[in-house]
Amino acid sequence: MYDYIIVGAGSAGCVLANRLSASGKAKVLLLEAGGSDKDANVQIPAAFNKTFNTDKDWDYATTPQPHAHNRQLYMPRGKVLGGCSSINAMIYIRGHRADYDSWAESGCSGWGYDDVLPYFRRSEANETLSGEFHGTDGPLLVQEPRSLNVLSNTLVAAAGELGYPFTNDFNGAEQEGFGRYQLTQKKGRRWSSADAFLHPATSRSNLQVITEAHVERVTTEGGRATGVVYSRKGQAQTVTASKEVVLSGGAINSPQLLMLSGIGPADHLKERGVDVILDLPGVGQNLHDHPVVPLMWRCTQNVSLDTADKLPRVLAQLPNYLLRKRGPFTSNVGEAGGFLKTRDDLPAPDLQYHFAPCFFVNHGRDNPPKGNAFTVAPTLVAPFSRGAVTLASADPHAKPLIDPHHLEDPRDLAVLVHGYHLAVKLVRSEAMKPFAGEAYDPDQDLTDDSAIEEHLKSKLEAIYHPVGTCKMGTDPMAVVDPELKVRGIGGLRVVDASVMPSISRGNTNAPTIMIAEKASDLIMRA
């Protein structure tokens, strides 16, 4: 018997395991379907794409997307200690003040910006920034890039040439502007949620961590969660919790597990042969992400990251990395970027740019063409389209159906068209002229909006930030209340990005950690 069972050792689950076990009084079990994070491709920042389609990745894909040429879009999800924080690009972005204030205004009392800022600061150990917006002594290391590529600095200069302000802090008083991204790294290596929160806590006698444990369902009795059933090495086991079961599987796995446990839209569960415990129609709904389109241009100088993993350069740079933790291996690939409003009347940015000083073909999974290139990727950070996660079957080991309905709302495509035009202006600026060659993808600089729209639809991807499928709120479609308790079931919470009513503007790892920090206080006060 445990006090708390946490399902998922990802960005949120690692935080919870640390905080709930810190006093030594509560007995905590953390279950993770994946395995160890002690792998070079996890630890070396530039190698994150080499974790894709491996045993450290749930290896999901969407259903065919009608507004993206019926393509199935790849969606990596971390299946490893640290979850997605062990396979992501390490960008530390909190979102905009308006994101959290809108949560509070929608009925999520206690989740406004001023409410959540202390939790961001509690986690953070910022290397260079301090003051009212930043923490300096938390477990999550946030540092500057150690070996920023010259192309990334040039992109920031190009934005300045076009009148966009420079910022050294996307998480301070104002999000707008262009600059380099701060990263969750420790002196040139990844610093995941597992590094920051879990590994320092594993010596505690009241915390047990079990890997390769695939949770199949939550057990309930008398309207209350009592534990979970998980399988490990072909054997099913049941464990019980005296206080709470906490789901931290993320925006895909948490709603899937609720539905497999009989908690979700009753008609859908019946169709899949799942006995209904609680008709909760919002489970799996409200799925959304940040759609992105990587646009690529040839680089006329041999300065990109494109040869960083080729043998001659590896041999030249490996000592630099091993001894000094500097050089191209420390790159998170998406080194720089910016946030802007496409219309003056918007309350906050709706467009983000990710800049990579290299080809980024098919999520970095395909071998790039010969030569040097760079990628400018406009990213929609306030999407209107909404989709759903549903069960493919009652088999707990079957992948769910993931349908984000990308670009279903035409306003989303209009923002990305704006983003394409600005990307071309950045590339053809005076600052970029020494490096910018011919267009690669698309193979020419497009000017006709219809042609641009077709290209965007043909190359659109998701940027691995799914949220919203167990949304927090007080309306009939809310899955959890503002204390993250599942509505209608006692002793059960969801703590991960799935509880976001609407997506935060920017990369979602830091907000997910914040949610877990706040949740740990809510749980311990219960």
The answer to whether 155 and 377 have CB atoms below 8 angstroms apart is: no
467: which DSSP letter?
B
Main-chain dihedrals φ then ψ at residue 241, nearest 5 degrees: -125, 130
The answer to whether 126 and 135 have CB atoms below 8 angstroms apart is: yes
| Active-site annotation holder among 96, 199, 455, 465 | 465
Q: Which residue do the tokens 């150990």 mark? A: 125
Q: Which two tokens stand for residue 348?
A: 């906050």
CB proximity list for 8: less than 8 A, separation 6 or greater: 31, 32, 33, 83, 247, 248, 249, 250, 253, 254, 496
Quote the CA–CA distance of 313 and 514 in Å, as a whole number.
Answer: 39
Among the listed residues 54, 52, 71, 55, the one whose alpha carbon sits nearest the alpha carbon of residue 63: 71
Give the CA radius of gyration of the chain.
Answer: 22
CB proximity list for 180: less than 8 A, separation 6 or greater: 144, 145, 148, 152, 153, 156, 168, 335, 336
310: which DSSP letter?
S
Q: Which two tokens stand for residue 156?
A: 């920031």
Is 117 in a helix, a strand, or coil? helix
Count the Cβ atoms, other than its own, within 10 Å of residue 408. 18
The answer to whether 287 and 403 have CB atoms below 8 angstroms apart is: yes
For 141, 170, 508, 526, the CA distances from 92, given in Å and listed in that order, are 10, 9, 8, 30
Q: What pairing do the DSSP bridges indicate for beta strands 189-190 and 185-186? A: antiparallel
Among the listed residues 385, 440, 444, 401, the one whose alpha carbon sits nearest the alpha carbon of residue 68: 385
Among the listed residues 14, 78, 12, the one whose alpha carbon sits nearest the alpha carbon of residue 41: 78
Q: Which residue do the tokens 């290596």 mark? A: 189
Quote the CA–CA distance of 287 and 350 in Å, as a whole number.
Answer: 18
Is 215 in a helix, a strand, or coil? strand
- 465 part of the active site: yes
Question: What distance lies between CA 517 and its chain's CA centroid?
Answer: 16
The answer to whether 165 and 177 have CB atoms below 8 angstroms apart is: yes
Looking at the annotation, which residues are catalytic?
465
